[in-house]
Structure 1
């Protein structure tokens, strides 16, 4: 059974949502979906829902290529949201 570890700031009641997350996961068939979902959730929480579809596609391509072509047992994806760099 594969496991993944997600770290980042967790929002609490009344505080702003997290703006960064880090996913360390096995190089496995399920990892692209986990990575897509992480980035989509982060964007939604930060109020950038319009960017979700493009981000999901980019993350999917990138993580799938790592899983299929890199000789790695694990991969790490870091996502940081910066209001100045998202339209």
Structure 2
């Protein structure tokens, strides 16, 4: 591998801003902030959604009724056909 062209691959602390959940993993993400965990200072990456707050993983995903949308549209607007332009 060539020297000086690869990003710095290091341990980074990710913090979910919606609930404060933190996890430590390796990443090349560039950060400006640092945080302490287990008496060690790590680069801090703030994220909005993680597996702890995403509705799919928490079981609070809303199920949208997609069946019947076309029928509801046709009932509301009828079976209007466009008149030919004169």
TM-score range for the pair, normalised by the shorter chain length: under 0.3
TM value normalised by structure 1: 0.23
Structure number with greater CO (CA < 8 Å, separation at least 6) is 1
Q: Whose helix proportion is higher, 1 or 2?
A: 1
